[in-house]
Amino acid sequence: MSSPAAQFKTDAKRITADLRHRATIQTAMGKYELVRDQRKHWFQDWEGARTLAARTKYEAVNGLDAHLLQFTRKLEARGTKVHWAGTGAQACAIILDLLQARRARVVVKSKTMTSEEIHLNDALARAGVEVVESDLGEFIVQLRGEPPYHLVFPAMHLTRDEIKEVFAKRLHDAPSNDPEELTMVARRQLRQKYLQADVGITGANFAIAETGMISITENEGNARLTAALPRTMITLMGIEKILPRYADLALFLPMLAVMGTGQALTCYNTMYGGPRQPGEADGPEEFHVVLLDNRRTLVLADVEQRDALGCIRCGACLNVCPVYRNVGGHTYGTVYGGPIGSVLTPHLRGLQEWKHLSYASSLCGACTETCPVGIDIHHHLLRNRRNASAPKTGKPDAWQRLLFKLYAATAARPAFWRLATRFGRFVQRFHGLVKGGALDPVRAWTGTRELPPIARQSFREWWKEHGTHE
């Protein structure tokens, strides 16, 4: 198996040449930008809202220890069982134990990227449990055996014909490529599963410390059915999902909707506070919350990058990222793609193995500019690069260092620079012989682009003749 870095380069090369893919994504994102901007203007003071959101999330993360305890005490007081998982494997084991103790055969899930992070579906399938994704996009990519393409739009890379094709192949039910008809097919399938399922697994968008409640926001009603119909409900969430106060949702729910999908609010916004209480007519008999660390506390310990834990997974940085828009969601090879994923993945899965994601950016800063909670995303990519090549704690690239050393020595001395200028001019005469070929030392550039020649007279040479001199 190739390294994640080699795989990334191979996949990026393939997909950037796929012009149909590029057009699909650019068109979808163009539409998103339009509605996002319309809704942003509904905020009286968008920049003020961002500042407040950043401050609130930072407060939540900085006081995570206290907030989590408050959150769990409130939950437990209403009969919820709280589980703490240090690693993804532990979280999978906890959930599997809960399923096996209840002899669960069928599980429905609503959208949870955290479960993708810990490969929960694989773990459950290995144990013989049937897992059904109930979010339409997730349902489609599950049928295709693919991971979600995007944090918010899991199937945005697919055309309706491709969806029809997979429905025909896997469900033997695809009357046409009409989105409404295809949705009806999925609904018929899913309604059966909700009724059969022994357990429903959800994620969480926010966890309110003050009230001990889980906030889930969605557009299809599938999370409500996942939570309400099976006897047991399990919510899997990263520990950073905390918000201090109930009232914070008044800012965060519209903000997430605007930046996530360009909606003023998503269609369904539900609070879950525990299992069915005496006298209540509905709700699950049992409610379990699994709190996942999985190296998030390492991000917490990193004073420079702690704000990255404030990410609300709106996907806005992916949508504006010119790299994401060209390589697409699958190329990253990890559940959290795009700019924020390139910041977080090296923390969550190892810096040396995943540092290439932090290098695969032009550092344009469109992500930071759009991030609703003000995460310093593109500068964190730079900091990851620094940490990855730090002389003692990282792995500096010896060749690259040598090149920089030579270059810096030349740039620091006028005489060397003059010599190098002339030498470069001499050498480039022969460049034509190898240009673009395997022997071309600058083939990475000349493979697809022309390189301007060193001028007959450099500026410094011109200045010598013209200038007032120092």
For CA atoms 319, 321, 323, 326, give the dihedral sign. positive
CB of 45 to other proteins, least distance (A): 19
Query: Which one of the spans 190-198, 245-253, 260-268, 388-396 is the region binding other proteins (CB under 8 A)?
Result: 388-396
Binding mask 5-44 for other proteins (x = CB under 8 A): ----x--xx--xx----x---x------------------
For the chain, the C-alpha Rg in angstroms (whole number) is 26
DSSP bridge partners of 109: 133, 201
Q: How many CB atoms lie within 10 A of CB 373?
A: 25
Cβ-based nearer residue to other proteins, 67 or 355:
355
Q: Between 114 and 370, whose beta carbon lies closer to other proteins? A: 370
DSSP structure string for 170-193 = HHS----S-HHHHHHHHHHHHHHH
Phi, psi of 108 (to 5 degrees): -105, 145
Indicate whether 233 belongs to the interface with other proteins (CB under 8 A).
no
Residue type, position 47, single letter: E
Binding to other proteins, residues 323-362 (CB under 8 A): 323, 325-327, 359-362
Q: Is 391 in the site for other proteins (CB under 8 A)?
A: yes
- CB-wise, 251 or 364, nearer to other proteins? 364
Q: Is 388 in the site for other proteins (CB under 8 A)?
A: yes
Binding residue for other proteins (CB under 8 A) from 31, 41, 160, 460? Answer: 460
CB of 429 to other proteins, least distance (A): 15
Nearer Cβ to other proteins (114/358): 358
Q: How far apart are CA 319 and CA 148, in angstroms?
A: 15
Within 10 A of 409 (CB to CB), how many other CB atoms are there? 11
Q: Which span (44-52, 128-136, 260-268, 380-388) binds other proteins, by CB under 8 A?
A: 380-388
Candidate ranges 45-53, 97-105, 286-294, 455-463; the one touching other proteins (CB under 8 A): 455-463
Do residues 127 and 99 lie in contact, with contact meaning Cβ atoms separated by under 8 Å? Answer: yes
Considering only 24, 283, 417, 440, the residue that binds other proteins (CB under 8 A) is: 417
Choose among 381, 460, 380: nearest CA to 420.
460
By CB under 8 A, tell whether 426 contacts other proteins: no
Q: Which residues contact 126 (CB under 8 A, 6 or more apart)?
A: none
Q: Where are the alpha helices (DSSP H) in 247-363?
A: 249-261, 296-301, 316-320, 324-327, 338-349, 351-359
